[in-house]
Amino acid sequence: MAPQTETPRIPEIADETDVMREQLEYLIEHAAEADECDCSECRRYLRVRAILLEIFGEPQQAKVQEMAPQLVKAA
Ligand SMILES: [Zn+2]
């Protein structure tokens, strides 16, 4: 018997990842099909989307400002 004590945890993590992917796909599909039906699924989608797109919000402006001097040098 191999001393792999953490073996049982790996399927759980993979399973959780699969569930998250499925949920995300489900919510995206629902939001695409249902045109603002404002159900709990729609609200979950909006919450998830806000979290997932968080990094594309304010930090993006900071990145652009950081990149600006480099672009000037490259030009
Ligand atoms: Zn809905």
Whether pTM > 0.95 for this model: the answer is no
Give, to the nearest 10 degrees, the angle between helix 9-33 and helix 40-52. 110
Q: Per residue in 5-51, pLDDT tens?
A: 665 566 677 899 999 999 999 999 999 998 779 899 999 999 999 99
Distance 10 CA to ligand 1 centre (A): 33
Distance 59 CA to ligand 1 centre (A): 30
Q: Identity (one letter) of the amino acid at 3?
A: P
Distance 50 CA to ligand 1 centre (A): 16
What six digits make up the tokens of 71? 């672009």
pLDDT at residue 47, as a whole number: 95
Distance 8 CA to ligand 1 centre (A): 36
Category of 38 on φ-ψ map: left (φ > 0), alpha (ψ -120 to 50) or beta: left
Cα separation of 48 and 32, whole Å? 14
pLDDT at residue 2, as a whole number: 56
Distance 45 CA to ligand 1 centre (A): 9
Higher pLDDT, 30 or 2: 30
pLDDT at residue 13, as a whole number: 78
Residue 5: burial class (beta carbons within 10 Å; 0-12, 13-18, 19+): exposed
